[in-house]
Chain A
Amino acid sequence: MARVHFVPAAGTLTAYLTGEIDHHAAQVLRREIDAQIDTRLPELLTLDLAGVTFMDSSGVGLILGRSRRIGALGGQLTVQGAPTNVRRMLDLAHITYV
């Protein structure tokens, strides 16, 4: 079970993700994040993964899909706060993070 809550600021939007991100959870998270992107049109979307306890390659697909979506709207995506086990997955997919 994964959750996301959003903290908007001037031109930016931070999505705090928690729980287990698998294919099941990614479908729900995708809809929630895309709704926020389309409403707020942030220049910078930050995905904060500090509260993520599990992530498989569905999470990679989620990140890459959101990056494409916000890129098409002229914005940027960054990933922050990934715990060690999530970093292994990001490294495997060559996704950079702060």
Chain B
Amino acid sequence: MPRAKPLNHTRILFTSRSVNEAFARAALAAFLVQLDPTVPQLADIKTAVSEAVTNCIVHAYPGTLGPIQMDISLFEGDVVRIVIRDNGVGIADIPKAMEPLFTTGDPEERAGLGFAVMQSFMDTVRVASRPGHGTRVTLVRRLDRRA
């Protein structure tokens, strides 16, 4: 987790409607253009963010709508940090929630792979949560310069 001041930062607020999953990815891609990421790098980060945003929509605000805040920061050394916050139900048992194949959603339709995907596609994934208050997911990835 970078401690230095970011070189650039943007904050995006949106409601937990599933149509906003695509909006969050588009906003992220627009921010990352300044880094000229490779296609696979951009795909990795978009996928991880899509998982985190979907978690907010499906799990944080079940059957209701609430705010989602996404902070994207760029640090020295081409390090990108994305923080996704919600004010939803929170997670009581974070290690359990992060287990592959575990889901509190519909097991017929949800794969339970959201956190596994984030961990696979990002360098660092951190989760902080207070039941009844919300969850904060921090994703960090260093982009390798093009050869």
A contact set with B: CB distance below 8 Å: 1, 20, 22-24, 26-27, 30, 54-58, 60-62, 64-65, 68, 84-85, 88-89, 92-93
B43: interface (CB < 8 Å): yes
Bound Cα distance from A23 to B111, whole angstroms: 11
B116: interface (CB < 8 Å): yes
CB of B38 to closest CB in A, whole Å: 11
B69: interface (CB < 8 Å): no
- Give the residues from 6 to 21 in chain B that come closer than 8 angstroms, CB to CB, to chain A: 18-19, 21
Bound Cα distance from A38 to B51, whole angstroms: 30
CB of B61 to closest CB in A, whole Å: 13
CB within 8 Å: A-B pair count: 67
A contacts with B: majority SS: helix
**Most B CB atoms within 10 A — which of A30, A57, A88?**
A57
CB of B105 to closest CB in A, whole Å: 9
Between-chain CB contacts (< 8 Å), 7 pairs: A1-B22, A23-B21, A54-B25, A54-B47, A58-B54, A61-B110, A84-B40
The contact string, 1 if C-beta is below 8 Å from chain A, for chain B 96-119, is: 000000000000111101101100
**Which residues on the B side are within 8 Å of A26 (C-beta)?**
109
Sort A-B residue pairs by CB-CB distance and give the 3 closest, nearest first: A24-B18, A57-B113, A60-B111
B contacts with A: majority SS: helix
Partner of A85, one of B22, B25, B43, B110: B43
Bound Cα distance from A57 to B111, whole angstroms: 7
Partner of A23, one of B39, B46, B54: B54
